[in-house]
Amino acid sequence: MNRLSLERHQVWIYLAAIVGGLSLGTLAPGVGPRFETLLWPVLAALLYTTFVQVPLLHVRDAFRDARFVLAILLGNFILIPLLVWLALHALPDDPALHLGVLLVLLVPCTDWFITFTQLGQGNTARAIAVTPLNLLLQLLLLPAYLWLMLPAADFSTAIKTEEMLPAALMLIGVPLVAAALTERWVEAIPERAVWRERLGWWPVPLLAVVVFLIAGAQVGTVHDAGPVLLSVLPVFVGFLLVAALLARGFTRWLRLPLDAGRTLAFSLGTRNSFVVLPFALALPAGWETTVVVVVFQSLVELFGMAFYLWWLPRHLFRQPSMSQA
């Protein structure tokens, strides 16, 4: 099995991990605290191996294609946040649910976005170029989005700086710096590129371990969250459809090539669920549903990507035949 084949079948790996975690957590409820302890180092390793795949030292490369990066910035950081804010009004009045939706839908993906771009006949070079820009902007803008979109009482209750900041520094800051140092080390000698390729195999199995641990530790919350997850499912599905149509609109407006349009659709449609997991896991007691919502969105998204791989190249961004050209 090659790496691309592993990533193509990742949704089934994650489903098996969740079922396994829920089963073990139900049969042995005492494993919850142990799983929570194991979760943090595994999550840190996952973020490091993911960030290593992002060309963090080459942010300027994103601006070589001005029209494409304009679409990325307008879509991911202006229009989609507005749509997400509007979508909250269609959901039950549950602060933990709202926070989970905001956390996961406001951050564009920086890992399997590239994989799906490659599988879906997009432009992989463009995808790689904009990834560090997407990552840095989402980390800077997410606190502002939450402050603007959450009621003041919910924001002050959930977002405890003294708890969030250590989690952000240890689980995002440290892996991010380590990945940047690794990138510099790899690029110093071309033969070292094999190390980045080897690390690229690890995000899928590590994410499977993460969702297994979360499912086992949060089994009670998952069982209780059934109605909440059903209520948010239409929002997550609708988000995928609107994101693709938005990409189509940008492609026509800015006259982007079709492969760039497909890349844009994958960028707008995929979200960075596990990058926000440290924030969700650091929330105070009573906000556990937020974690479940974040993980649930990633599963919905993976099934949505299977639909994208069929819909985008064959219909929404279909290449005209020679007779139509």
Q: Residue 321: is its pLDDT beyond 70?
A: no
Q: Is residue 207 part of a domain?
A: no
pLDDT for 325: 47
Q: Is residue 265 part of a domain?
A: yes
Q: Is residue 71 part of a domain?
A: yes
Q: Is residue 115 part of a domain?
A: yes
> Total domain count for the chain?
1
Closest CA to 71 of 250, 193, 246: 250
266: domain CATH number is 1.20.1530.20
Q: Is residue 193 part of a domain?
A: no
What b-and-e string marks burial along 93-111, b requiring 16 or more CB atoms within 10 Å of the CB?
Answer: ebbbbbbbbbbbbbbbbbb
Q: Is residue 87 part of a domain?
A: yes
Lowest-pLDDT range of 3-17, 84-98, 247-261: 3-17
Q: Is residue 10 part of a domain?
A: no
- SS3 call for 324: coil
pLDDT for 168: 78
pLDDT for 227: 94
Q: Residue 70: is its pLDDT beyond 50?
A: yes
Q: Is residue 80 part of a domain?
A: yes
Q: Residue 291: is its pLDDT beyond 90?
A: yes
Domain around 238: 53-188+225-316
Q: Residue 161: is its pLDDT beyond 80?
A: no
**Which residues have CB under 8 Å from 162's CB, separation 6+?**
none
190 or 163: whose pLDDT is higher?
A: 190
111 or 66: whose pLDDT is higher?
A: 66
Confidence tier at 274 by pLDDT (50, 70, 90): confident
pLDDT for 324: 52
The CA distance from 144 to 161, in Å, is 14
